[in-house]
Amino acid sequence: MSFEHHKVAIHYQSGFFLFLIRSNKSIVVPFARWVIREAIQIAMENRKPKEVTKEDCKMMKLAS
């Protein structure tokens, strides 16, 4: 398969990573391992929890 004949539009960073991880190229294997073993863990450690607002609580009650 050649990329010359296909157009790809990626709108989110996660879509880009998914596109790479699903590739059949041999270079992707080390990248996928790095994402799974290190990058996700680092991102989760540096993530700040979202503060739950009163509006969020109202939306959760409506959804249940």
Q: What is the pLDDT of residues 12-62, one digit of tens each?
A: 777 777 777 777 888 888 888 888 888 888 887 877 777 878 888 888 888
Q: What is residue 7's predicted lDDT score, i.e. its pLDDT?
A: 67
Domain map (residue ranges) of the chain: 3-63
Map residue 27 onto helix, strand or coil.
coil
Q: Give the up-direction half-sphere exposure of residue 8: CA atoms within 13 A in the CB hemisphere.
A: 10
Residue 2's pLDDT band (boundaries 50, 70, 90)? low
Q: Is the pLDDT of residue 1 over 60?
A: no
Indicate the pLDDT class of residue 4, thresholds 50, 70 and 90. Answer: low
The b-or-e profile of 4-26 (16+ CB within 10 A means b, else e) is eeeeeeeeeeeeebeeeeeeeee
19/1 Cα distance (integer angstroms): 15
